[in-house]
Chains A and B, each alone.
Chain A
Amino acid sequence: MTDNRRGVTLAPDHAVGFLTDASLCIGCKACEVACKQWNGLPADDITGRLTGQSYDNTTDLGATTWRHVAFVERASGPATAWLMLSDVCKHCVHAGCMEACPTGAIIRTEFESVYIQPDICNGCGYCVPACPFGVPQLDAEAHIARKCTLCYDRLRDGLEPACAKTCPTDSIRFGPVADLMAEATARVETLRARGVADAQIYGDLASGGTNGIGGLNAIFVLNAAPETFNLPAAPSLPADRALPAYASALAAAAGLLGAAFLAFGRRRS
């Protein structure tokens, strides 16, 4: 039990996570930098490939990029509206990556976060297409899958994750998921009252972003449709497709082997 942010007590078996609020993000990318510094991740190589996509030269979450600030500029009357959001691993309640992992390298920690044990992962890469949010990726140097750890090492020492610690506007908040959900609900109400019609929680069973995933431990307050930030509106849990797929595959096998049984008994001409 350790004291954490704003008097939050961090207890095991108690889901903690992020609330990332698009309406408070100023696009400073301090979270990206803090994450890279704390976790010892190399800088993204942008030499000669500035994207031209607003201020986004990060473009995606990846093996060595665990926070990604998205920038959207869009016309709103005579002015340009700026939308910014710091994307991150969702630490799903039912995680596609974890269900897919054949080695047990991906575990649920005592903080309910989803953690890839680097000494167990053998780089099979199956978690990569199994994440409905495009989060984990194979690292070209370590040859294992890597993604946000929710700063597992910091949590164990009673510190909040580096990105949340550094965020100057409190757009990234860390704490017990239940508390964050209450904060998010209040925030969405405020935004709606101020006329942000698209204000919504992403990662809540009721409001979306979790279809089949049972909720996210890293939730978001969005001020535009999820797709605007490259978030799927109603992702599904890939592992749920396995059982019906086995059933139909085995039924097909039974049918064809039945046909084989008939074919092998035919009178030989």
Chain B
Amino acid sequence: MNAATSPPGYYGLPVIHRSHWKWLVIFYFFFGGIAGAAQAIAAVAAARDREGNRDVIRAARYVSLAAFLPCPALLILDLGRPGRFLHMLRILKFRSPMSIGSWTLALFGAAATAVATGQALDDRPSLLPDGIASLARRLLGPASVVAALLGVLLSAYTGVLLAATAVPIWAKRSRLLGPIFVASAMSTAAAAIDIATESRRIALLEGICSATELAVLAAWFARLGSIRRPLAAGRLAPLFRHAVIGAGIAAPFGLRAIGPHMPASARRAIEVMAALLTLVGGFALRYVIVVAGAESADDPAATFALTAAPGSEAGR
């Protein structure tokens, strides 16, 4: 047998090891993004026009807490040793996005809980005795700023987490992965808020974020070169094209374009439909990127394209 390895490599075997991440992490990326971005949206809306955006702010704060709640469980269950989850907090390591993310999520959870509590007391002051209620409401302002800052980091670090690996499709254009995750976190958070409360402003924001997401995705895809293979061909390609781009980004724009021409009674339903599709697209995006990472890690040609010696042909 002559194994003269014509494409460079070793019997086509993977060079690197793929990550074990599957559904738990895909759901976490989805919910964590919504939780973080919703908190940031609430803070910006409050800073701009607290009265005019009252409903959006309230919805965003509740959406954020609701989306946060499953996150710790998803991450803990994903550990090989769930009982050791507290080891995540035994050190803080700036060089490790996983460490930054763990700390961010833990602190964010506290802040988001404080914000939602303050909001609830704002809605119904009678929930708690006067003294406590007024204290909680006074803390609402500072807590929402802290939650917003942590929320931005929460929605951003997941892209960095993937970029800082040896997986070719995550590593190749590492600077575009963060913006993709951020834009998708913002669009899905806006969509969730949009479903919870009616607001043209949040629908407008959702559109802006989706358009940004599309632009960054297109740039990413175009600049991946041969490493884009899992997205361009194979099982994931139709999902990427039809679920992420088609259903998740194009369809909501289409629905919003025809919305105003529909009878007034149908408009809200169309808006909710558009927002739901944005959520579906955002989830599909997380799925596609995580699974594409596994396929990319298994592909020695992709790894060699990423790690070719400077100046050699494979480096392109």
Q: Which residues of A contact B (CB under 8 A)?
A: 51-54, 56, 59-60, 70, 72-75, 80, 96, 99-105, 120-126, 128-139, 142-145, 208, 211, 225, 227-236, 238-239, 241-242, 244-253, 255-257, 259-261, 263-266, 268-269
Contacts and interface: CB of A to CB of B under 8 A. Distances in A.
A264 B165 contact: no
Contacts of B49: 264-265
A132 B16 contact: yes
B21 A233 contact: no
Interface in B1-60: 1-5, 8-11, 13-21, 40-41, 44-45, 47-49, 52-53, 56
A133 to B, nearest CB: 7
Nearest to A104: B91
A227 B9 contact: yes
Contact of B179 (A103, A248, A269): A248
Contacts of A228: 5, 8-10
For the complex of A and B, 10 pairs with smallest distance between CB atoms:
A123-B80, A249-B178, A143-B80, A232-B307, A252-B179, A122-B84, A230-B10, A249-B156, A102-B99, A227-B8
B2 A242 contact: no
A92 B38 CA distance: 41
B19 to A, nearest CB: 4
A246 B178 contact: yes
Contacts of B315: 234
B81 A144 contact: yes
B192 interface: no
B226 interface: no
Interface of B: 1-5, 8-11, 13-21, 40-41, 44-45, 47-49, 52-53, 56, 78-81, 84-85, 87-88, 90-91, 93, 95-99, 101-102, 152-153, 155-157, 159-161, 163-167, 170-171, 174-179, 181-183, 186, 200-201, 204-205, 208-209, 212, 216, 293, 297, 300, 303-304, 306-310, 312, 315
Contacts of A256: 182-183, 186, 208-209, 212
Given A100-B164, A131-B166, 16 more contacts: A100-B165, A102-B96, A122-B87, A124-B79, A126-B96, A143-B81, A232-B304, A236-B166, A236-B307, A244-B175, A245-B175, A249-B160, A264-B48, A264-B56, A264-B205, A268-B200
Contacts of B209: 256, 259
B164 A241 contact: yes
Task: Please indicate which of the listed interface residues A56, A130, A253, A261 has the most CB atoms of chain B within 10 Å of its own CB.
Answer: A253
17 contacts: A59-B11, A73-B2, A74-B2, A74-B4, A75-B2, A121-B84, A124-B78, A129-B16, A229-B10, A248-B178, A249-B159, A249-B177, A253-B40, A257-B44, A259-B209, A264-B44, A266-B201
Given A234-B307, A260-B205, A133 B176 contact: no
A230 B300 contact: yes
Contact of B17 (A56, A120, A129): A129
A128 B19 contact: yes
Contacts of A120: 84, 87, 90
A70 B10 contact: yes
Contact of B166 (A129, A227, A266): A129
Contact of A122 (B19, B44, B85, B300): B85
